[in-house]
Structure 1
Amino acid sequence: MRTPLLSLLLTSTLLLHGCATTPAPPTALSRLLDSVSQRLDIAEAVALHKWDSGQPVAAPEREQQVIANAQTQAMRFGVDGQRATHFFADQIEANKLLQYSALSQWHATGSAPSTQRLDLNTQLRPQLDRLQRTLLSQLAEFDRNRPAHCQATLARAIEQLDKSPQHSLALIRATTYLCSPL
């Protein structure tokens, strides 16, 4: 009686152990998506600043400044300037999508969350500037290691992330031209 029970337990344990998978090592795409996602995570804090100050979401002068800066830095990271321009224009549009969504929710409820506010100029923009350099480096790595069937791989990678529907949509917007021909 003991032998069949022991055998059953041992078999179950081995089967369960075989089902455990180790996470795949990060790829150039997964690292890039993680940084894009981090940049998008800042959108609500930016929206809070704009809510409090009454500033509009669109800031054309600042947007052009960010894109020009990315274009200037691109060569240092091995990224074509035009590629950097398109990539960061997509980042800005995705970020604005989340800002508009947050502001709409706050207008509908009549108030913004009572979370700690971060200063746009001294706290948020320096974070965005650091992320810009990281994103340029990772974009260069992605371009060197572009996956086969890029669009399908990208779509699956975004789908597998555990993000809210709004954040997922913003990720899709932020990566609209990621797989375009170089």
Structure 2
Amino acid sequence: MCSTLRLPKLMFCVLSAVIACSAQADVTAPPPASLQPLVATMNERLNIADRVALSKWDSRTPIQDSAREAQVIAAARKQAISRKLNPDEVADLIAAQIEASKLVQYGLLAQWQAAGKAPDLPRPNLTKEVRPQLDEVQKRLLQAYAEFAPYRTDPNCAQWLAKARSALIKDYLHGQGLIRATGDLCIVN
């Protein structure tokens, strides 16, 4: 139909086709159902960093705990094998969660040092309360990761992740932590 038209109408047809194609290109496939639970669990783990920071503030212990981090990563590697996941990928995933948590802890301690005090909140016991909670969250995190893993190479992964992440960010510091926690989740080919 457009081929029999004069130049102005032909230009209109070409322009309409270009607009239609670009509109279709902007449509992203919906995210898999497994993404939201994964990002929510990562965010839950990250929010526990606030309680860890309070405990470390009170005990004046350093945030860096290499021995504990090695234990957590070793446990994740064992869980990966039982879930038929790549232990190296799972170790990287958990290392990213730990780094994200430390980022939040360092940020909170800096805020509290500047203020001269930490918030007046209940103080959890790191060993008896917080670490068991982190261990339980890690099990759920690995289950959610196993369900999402087939989608890591999808071309839409980064866009899905950005939207899922933005819905959970409560402040700048935790937002940066969540970006770190999810930073290597999508594999770009």
TM-score (norm: length of structure 1): 0.82
Question: For each residue in 1:73-128, what CA deviation from the matched residue of structure 2 results, as whole angstroms up to 9, or x when unmatched?
Answer: 11222321001100000000000000001100000000001100110010000000
Of 137, 161, 165, the residue aligned with 2:168 is 161
User: What's the counterpart of residue 70 of structure 1?
Assistant: 76
Aligned ranges 1:105-120 → 2 under 5 Å: 105-120=111-126
Percent identity over paired residues: 43
Aligned to 2:10: none
Amino acid paired to 2:168: L
How far apart, CA to CA, are the structure 1 residues paired with 2:123 and 2:70?
25
Instruction: Give the equivalent residue in structure 2 for 1:40.
Output: 46
Q: Which runs of 5+ in 1 are unaligned?
A: 1-23
* Number of matched pairs: 159
Q: Structure 2 length normalisation: TM-score?
A: 0.79
Q: Distance in 1 between matches of 2:77 and 2:188?
A: 18
Opposite residue 105 of structure 1, the aligned amino acid is: Q
Q: CA deviation at 1:154?
A: 1.0
Runs of 4+ in 1 over 3 A off after TM superposition: 145-148
Structure 2 gap ranges (5+): 1-29
RMSD: 1.9
Which has more radius of gyration?
2
Would you say the 8 A contact 2:100–2:178 is kept in 1? yes
> CA contact under 8 A between 2:31 and 2:160: conserved in structure 1?
no
Matches within 5 A, 1:168-179: 168-179=175-186
